[in-house]
Amino acid sequence: MVRGILAVFVGLIAIFVSVYFMTGALTIAFGLDPMTTQTPPGLYLFFNILLGMVCAVFGGYAAGLVARRDEVRHAMYVAAVGLILGLVSLAMPAEGQPIWYLLITILTMPPAVVFGGWVRMRQARHDRPAPTTAPESA
């Protein structure tokens, strides 16, 4: 159980940290002022959604990696917490953040997180040795 809680925590932290750095890099690349409350250009928001999905896949993968079993289930827990946080953001949007952007984020991030857990599950299944049977005695 402790490993499962740790897996969810690591998945969330992986998402938060990677989003922080990706958003910072994107903000620099677009030459935007990070302290402004103006709505960023649509192209910036588009790339931010795409990079956010990559970060979400990474978070789901990280949760599955730490969990070592039931990778998809642990990724689903991360997705559920992310969905709750997204709904809170929708209820209290930051100034300059369009509602359509929040809605797309809420709809795309949970499946991306679960996909990351699925990727880890497939990888782990491939890496695990096949069960062996004991030889029959004569």
In the chain, which stretches have pLDDT less than 50? Answer: none
Q: What is the pLDDT of residue 134?
A: 64
**Cβ distance 66 to 4 under 8 Å?**
no
Q: What is the pLDDT of residue 100?
A: 93
This prediction has a pTM of 0.86
Q: What is the pLDDT of residue 35?
A: 83
Q: Which of 47, 17, 21 is nearest to 34 (CA)?
A: 21
Q: pLDDT digit string (tens) for 101-127?
A: 999 999 999 999 999 999 999 998 887
Q: What is the pLDDT of residue 138?
A: 56
Q: How many CB atoms lie within 10 A of CB 35?
A: 5
Report which DSSP code applies to 1. Answer: -
Q: What is the pLDDT of residue 16?
A: 97
